């Protein structure tokens, strides 16, 4: 089911189906970033410039992080931001010789690199997800 919102951003008006988005980034200063599907264009929304849209997106993020209707959403703290990512939309994972797990956010070129020592719970969640979805172990 589509969850459409209208957003004013940099002199443009967008109508966006939030259910089609695959990742959100929440910065400590309150900015929410997401990437438009199939375009890699990031939109950065904050409470001051877009109060109504900000609240709609924040409510959506809260809803999918606590009661996802579809997808395998995961919260990851990475480089001082909190990411909410639908793992079902990740198309590749990489495990380096050091054991770090890397994947790239859909619709952006941002790599997320998870280290077992720095975030063991998230790391294990990713390993379990990869094995469950693909049947492969990366080690």
pLDDT at 33 over 70: yes
Give the chain's mean pLDDT: 90
Given this model, what pLDDT does residue 67 score? 77
DSSP 20: G
What CA–CA distance (Å, rounded) separates 44 from 40?
A: 13
Confidence of residue 73 (pLDDT cuts 50, 70, 90): very high
* Number of residues that this document lists for the chain: 139
pLDDT digits (tens, 9 = 90+) for 48-63: 989 999 999 999 999 8
The CA-based dihedral angle spanning residues 46, 6, 111, 136, taken in that order and rounded to the nearest 10 degrees: 130
């Amino acid at each position: 089911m589509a969850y459409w919102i209208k957003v004013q951003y940099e002199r443009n008006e967008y109508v966006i189906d939030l259910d089609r988005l695959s990742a959100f980034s929440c910065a400590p200063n309150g900015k929410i970033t997401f990437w438009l599907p199939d375009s890699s264009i990031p939109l950065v929304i904050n409470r001051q410039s877009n109060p109504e849209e900000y609240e709609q997106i924040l409510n959506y993020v809260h809803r999918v992080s606590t009661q996802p209707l579809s997808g395998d959403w995961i919260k990851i703290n990475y480089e001082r931001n909190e990411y909410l990512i639908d793992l079902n939309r990740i198309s590749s994972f990489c495990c380096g010789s050091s054991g770090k797990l890397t994947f790239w956010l859909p619709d952006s070129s941002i790599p997320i690199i998870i280290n077992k020592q720095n975030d063991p719970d998230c790391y294990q969640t990713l390993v379990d997800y990869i094995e469950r979805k693909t049947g492969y172990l990366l080690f």
